[in-house]
């Protein structure tokens, strides 16, 4: 059980470093926003993706239709970098049953500190 938790923590830390350009934010520094930043990852207890979100299942997306999200993720999780890129695959990483990770596909571009 501890190894599973450590794996999840490592995956989330890696995502924070990648998405924030090498700077991890501690939970005490994080602030909720009324609108998610594009590329923000959160958990929802839904069987469907809410509007503006996609489940993080490692699927390939078209760069031409998701250019802003591609500018944040690049090919860190897969894709050819010409026509496609992949989302992180966080299936099975949720600490709760029936809760999944979703990534925001809409919203303001995150600024760098």
pLDDT, residue 60, reads 98
The whole-number pLDDT of residue 29 equals 47
Q: Could you tell me the two tokens for 1?
A: 């059980």
In-domain check, residue 94? yes
Domain assignment present for 25: no
Q: Identify the band that residue 110 occupies on the pLDDT scale cut at 50, 70 and 90.
A: confident
Domain count, the chain: 1
Q: Is residue 56 part of a domain?
A: yes
Q: Is residue 21 in a domain?
A: no
3-state SS, residue 99: coil
CA geometry: angle 8, 9, 10, nearest 5 deg? 90
Under the banding of pLDDT at 50, 70 and 90, the label for residue 74 is very high
**Predicted confidence (pLDDT) per residue in 27-62, tens digit:** 444 455 678 999 999 999 988 889 999 999 999 999
């Amino acid at each position: 059980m501890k190894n599973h938790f450590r794996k999840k923590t490592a995956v989330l830390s890696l995502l924070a470093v990648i998405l924030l350009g090498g700077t991890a934010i501690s939970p005490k520094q994080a602030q909720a926003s009324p609108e998610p930043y594009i590329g923000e990852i959160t958990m929802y207890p839904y069987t469907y993706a809410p509007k503006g979100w996609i489940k993080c299942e490692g699927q390939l997306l078209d760069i031409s239709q998701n250019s802003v999200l591609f500018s944040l993720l690049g090919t860190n999780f897969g894709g050819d970098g010409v026509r496609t890129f992949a989302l992180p695959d966080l299936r099975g990483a949720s600490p709760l049953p029936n809760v999944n990770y979703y990534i925001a596909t809409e919203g303001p571009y995150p600024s760098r500190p």
